[in-house]
């Protein structure tokens, strides 16, 4: 989720191979050496943040969940429980970890087990470490920053963060806001691609902002027709009331029910090339193209062409997007694990968490009061009279296990819950399945230096209709002992964000589902080609050699990324409230957490729902 400095490997189908070949040609793919993938080694200590290649939903992480949800596999359940706990938490994301922590505070003697199907804890809040020239370069693989903590965080969330030692104001001060534009003299830009615009062309804007009325003279350099340039310039510099003649109520209704894309295409009558340019304005932040954004939401997001329609504007204060740890919100997950499992992560402050190495051998130690079991998928949860039975599979093992607990908190993927909790009432199952998550890709490329970017004069690119819509040098944060690149000669990470390119569908859910199908047709090599192909184009433009500069690549594939969030065009407030109220209902001794049950893809919701579920379970 990136608003920058302002607001807001498997089966390869033949069809996908054909599509992949087109991408190959377009991006001049050159295969990588083993340098860019790191496999777990039996000789090295278990340390997932250092694993590269396919991360996020890495290989094997979805085997058992897909067996249940897609193939409807029926498992033979063991009759005897091997372990007993007071609480079992399913899902070691920020929500599950917050829930476990609050439960422990309320019941300090409680024995707790947390399970997660991934090889690392944190859920979407994942940390990746590169080693470049003997230096550790840290980045985030998913959940990036605290989004608007002043306005959007509840008292409870603030309280928890304070308890963890997080002071968001101080965190914001570690963000080097003047580094790229001020010190390195770099600007924002736009990278046009040959497939849509007839040529690969970089247009550098004359400031560090996105395209706006003040820098719209750059449109002159766009590789689009003169007619499209004129229309786009007008849209940015002299928007008019394209809805004149309609009453205030009619305008409001139009803005709520019409997509920004349809408005631009049918009301403003923008030429096709101008529409292509604007199509991904919303993709990085919202996870969908402007076909799923209403005119009202376009106004709220500050998109061009809607300011003079006479619509009421949202007056809420904007907060800068600077509340960021180098590994993103993985630091919050790590701070929680530090509290839950003493000795697993050394230190005591929000500064020293950044460079502290987690000792993964401590996580599932039988001596612990709280145990965290990775690579472990809960495949069924059954209520008993005063307890729950949780059945799980651990990757690499053949047999199922049963554990018993007084309580269970489900903080996993919401739409999976109906398959795991068969006793859930049907109407609640339907509500859970309404949370169709957004497929996303975060490619992280470590470079020995940023000289190519310095030569091009850019640090951040909007890349409409490309496999990745956003490319930027990593958020510049110096915190504790961790120093971000000070000059363009230092190692740095390039962040690329991609939303599988599904442009059409009758609803946002259909777009997300077909985006996921598209994503699932691509193997790791294709994802890597797409990311490196874009970088190669830029390096060629700069006259620099990517192969000599490349130090590593990790692609975080989030087939189920952002939680579903109410989409104005298709969901009413009443529907959202009814669905989330049902999703939050406990099922016997099983309590529901996770940001999914709030239909909200933000850290604050993950924490808030975790705390609420813990209060219920510990009552």
Ligand X SMILES: Cc1cc2nc3c(=O)[nH]c(=O)nc-3n(C[C@H](O)[C@H](O)[C@H](O)COP(=O)(O)OP(=O)(O)OC[C@H]3O[C@@H](n4cnc5c(N)ncnc54)[C@H](O)[C@@H]3O)c2cc1C
- Smallest separation (angstroms) from ligand X to the CB of 372: 11
Binding test (CB under 6 A) with ligand X, winner from 115, 477, 502, 550? 115
> Who contacts 506 (Cβ-Cβ below 8 Å, separation ≥6)?
none
Assess 411 for contact with ligand X (CB under 6 A): yes
Binding test (CB under 6 A) with ligand X, winner from 595, 613, 616, 617? 595
Is the CB of residue 502 less than 8 Å from the CB of residue 520? no
Tell me how far the alpha carbon of residue 363 is from its chain's centroid: 25
Binding test (CB under 6 A) with ligand X, winner from 49, 53, 142, 515? 142
Q: Which is nearer to ligand X, 78 or 182 (CB)?
A: 78
Q: Which is nearer to ligand X, 53 or 56 (CB)?
A: 56
Assess 143 for contact with ligand X (CB under 6 A): yes
Strands 388-394 and 590-592: unpaired
Q: How far apart are CA 555 and CA 6, in angstroms?
A: 26
Q: Which is nearer to ligand X, 176 or 329 (CB)?
A: 329
Binding test (CB under 6 A) with ligand X, winner from 102, 111, 124, 401? 124
Q: How far apart are CA 374 and CA 381, in angstroms?
A: 18
- Smallest separation (angstroms) from ligand X to the CB of 119: 10
- Smallest separation (angstroms) from ligand X to the CB of 246: 37
Pair of tokens at residue 58: 């890495």
- Smallest separation (angstroms) from ligand X to the CB of 93: 2
Binding test (CB under 6 A) with ligand X, winner from 101, 391, 558, 599? 558
Q: φ, ψ for residue 566 (rounded to 5)?
A: -45, 125
Q: How far apart are CA 497 and CA 561, in angstroms?
A: 12
Binding residues with ligand X: total (CB under 6 A): 40
Part in contact with ligand X (CB under 6 A); list of ranges 142-150, 335-343, 522-530, 537-545: 142-150
Is the CB of residue 319 less than 8 Å from the CB of residue 145? no
Q: How far apart are CA 134 and CA 459, in angstroms?
A: 24
Q: How far apart are CA 105 and CA 176, in angstroms?
A: 36
Binding test (CB under 6 A) with ligand X, winner from 86, 116, 200, 565? 116
- Smallest separation (angstroms) from ligand X to the CB of 561: 3
Assess 118 for contact with ligand X (CB under 6 A): yes
Whole-angstrom CA distances from 63 to 139, 402, 555 are 27, 19, 19
CA angle, 437 then 441 then 444, to 5°: 145
Q: Site residues for ligand X, window 488-547 (CB under 6 A)?
A: none
Pair of tokens at residue 287: 């996870």
Helix pair angle (524-542, 14-27), 10° resolution: 10
- Smallest separation (angstroms) from ligand X to the CB of 161: 12
Strands 470-473 and 550-558: unpaired
Is the CB of residue 388 less than 8 Å from the CB of residue 382? yes
CA angle, 443 then 446 then 449, to 5°: 135
- Smallest separation (angstroms) from ligand X to the CB of 350: 16
Binding test (CB under 6 A) with ligand X, winner from 51, 232, 356, 440? 440
Part in contact with ligand X (CB under 6 A); list of ranges 122-130, 153-161, 211-219, 574-582: 122-130
Binding test (CB under 6 A) with ligand X, winner from 147, 382, 528, 571? 147
Is the CB of residue 187 less than 8 Å from the CB of residue 459? yes
Binding test (CB under 6 A) with ligand X, winner from 562, 565, 568, 592? 562
**Buried b vs exposed e over 448-459: b needs ≥16 C-beta within 10 Å?**
ebbbbbbebbbb
Place of tokens 């001060």: 173
Assess 470 for contact with ligand X (CB under 6 A): no
Q: Site residues for ligand X, window 38-97 (CB under 6 A)?
A: 65, 90-91, 93-96
Assess 444 for contact with ligand X (CB under 6 A): no
Binding test (CB under 6 A) with ligand X, winner from 594, 613, 616, 618? 594
Binding test (CB under 6 A) with ligand X, winner from 189, 561, 588, 608? 561
- Smallest separation (angstroms) from ligand X to the CB of 265: 29
Assess 301 for contact with ligand X (CB under 6 A): no
Place of tokens 């969908």: 288
- Smallest separation (angstroms) from ligand X to the CB of 74: 16
Q: Residue 322, SS3?
A: coil
Binding test (CB under 6 A) with ligand X, winner from 603, 611, 617, 618? 603
Is the CB of residue 421 less than 8 Å from the CB of residue 589? no
Assess 435 for contact with ligand X (CB under 6 A): no
Part in contact with ligand X (CB under 6 A); list of ranges 140-148, 275-283, 353-361, 395-403: 140-148
Is the CB of residue 345 less than 8 Å from the CB of residue 338? yes
User: Which residues in this chain contact ligand X in the complex, by CB under 6 A?
Assistant: 1, 65, 90-91, 93-96, 115-118, 123-125, 142-145, 147, 329, 377-378, 411-413, 416, 420, 440, 442, 558, 561-563, 594-595, 601-603, 606
């Amino acid at each position: 989720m990136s608003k920058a400095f302002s607001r807001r490997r498997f089966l390869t189908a033949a069809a996908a191979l054909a599509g992949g070949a087109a991408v190959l040609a377009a991006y001049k793919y050159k295969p990588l050496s083993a340098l860019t993938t790191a496999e777990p080694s039996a000789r090295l200590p278990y340390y997932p943040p250092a694993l590269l290649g396919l991360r996020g939903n890495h290989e094997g992480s979805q085997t058992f969940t897909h067996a249940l949800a897609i193939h409807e596999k029926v498992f033979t359940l063991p009759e005897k429980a091997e372990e007993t706990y007071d609480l079992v938490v399913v899902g070691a994301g920020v929500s599950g970890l917050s829930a476990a922590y609050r439960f422990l505070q309320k019941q300090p003697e409680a024995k707790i087990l947390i399970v997660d199907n991934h090889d690392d804890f944190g859920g979407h809040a994942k940390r990746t470490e590169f080693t470049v020239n003997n230096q550790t370069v840290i980045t985030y693989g998913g959940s990036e920053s605290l989004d608007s903590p002043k306005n959007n965080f509840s008292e409870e969330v603030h309280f928890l963060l304070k308890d963890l030692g997080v002071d968001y104001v101080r965190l914001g001060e570690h963000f080097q806001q003047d580094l790229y534009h001020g010190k390195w003299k770099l600007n924002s830009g736009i990278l046009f691609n040959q497939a849509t615009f007839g040529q690969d062309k970089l247009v550098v804007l004359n400031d560090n902002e996105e395209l706006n009325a003040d820098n719209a003279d750059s449109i002159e350099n766009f590789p689009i027709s003169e007619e499209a340039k004129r229309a786009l310039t007008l849209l940015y510099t002299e928007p008019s009331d394209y809805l004149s003649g309609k009453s205030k109520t009619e305008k409001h209704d139009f803005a709520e029910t019409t997509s920004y894309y349809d408005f631009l295409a049918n009301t403003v009558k923008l030429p096709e090339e101008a529409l292509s340019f604007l199509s991904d304005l919303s993709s990085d932040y919202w996870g969908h193209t402007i076909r799923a954004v209403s005119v009202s939401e376009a106004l709220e997001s500050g998109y061009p062409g809607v300011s003079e329609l006479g619509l009421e504007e949202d007056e809420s204060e904007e907060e800068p997007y600077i509340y960021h740890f180098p590994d993103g919100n993985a630091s919050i997950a790590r701070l929680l694990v530090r509290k839950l499992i003493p000795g697993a992560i050394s230190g005591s402050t929000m500064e020293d968490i950044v460079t502290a190495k987690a000792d993964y051998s401590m996580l599932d130690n039988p001596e612990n009061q709280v145990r965290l079991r990775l690579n472990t998928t809960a495949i069924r949860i059954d209520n008993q009279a005063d307890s729950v039975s949780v059945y799980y599979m651990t990757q690499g093992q053949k047999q199922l296990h049963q554990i018993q607990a007084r309580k269970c908190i489900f903080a996993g993927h919401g739409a999976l819950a109906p398959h795991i909790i068969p006793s859930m009432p049907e109407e609640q199952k339907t509500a859970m399945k309404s949370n169709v998550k957004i497929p996303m890709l975060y490619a992280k490329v470590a470079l020995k230096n940023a000289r190519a970017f310095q030569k091009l004069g850019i640090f951040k690119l909007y890349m409409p209709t490309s496999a990745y819509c956003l490319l930027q040098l990593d958020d510049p944060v110096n915190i504790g002992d961790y120093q971000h690149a000070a000059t363009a000669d230092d190692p740095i990470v390039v962040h690329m964000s991609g939303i599988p390119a599904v442009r059409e569908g009758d609803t946002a859910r259909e777009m997300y589902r077909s985006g996921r199908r598209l994503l699932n047709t691509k193997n790791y090599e294709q994802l890597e080609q797409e990311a490196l192909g874009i970088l190669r184009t830029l390096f060629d433009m700069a006259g620099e050699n990517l192969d000599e500069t490349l130090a590593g690549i990790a692609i975080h594939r989030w087939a189920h990324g952002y939680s579903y969030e109410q989409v104005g065009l298709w969901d009413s407030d009443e529907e959202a409230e009814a669905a989330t109220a049902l999703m939050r209902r406990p099922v016997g001794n099983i309590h529901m957490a996770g940001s999914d049950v709030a239909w909200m893809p933000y850290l604050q919701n993950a924490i808030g729902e975790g705390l609420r579920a813990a209060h219920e379970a510990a009552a």
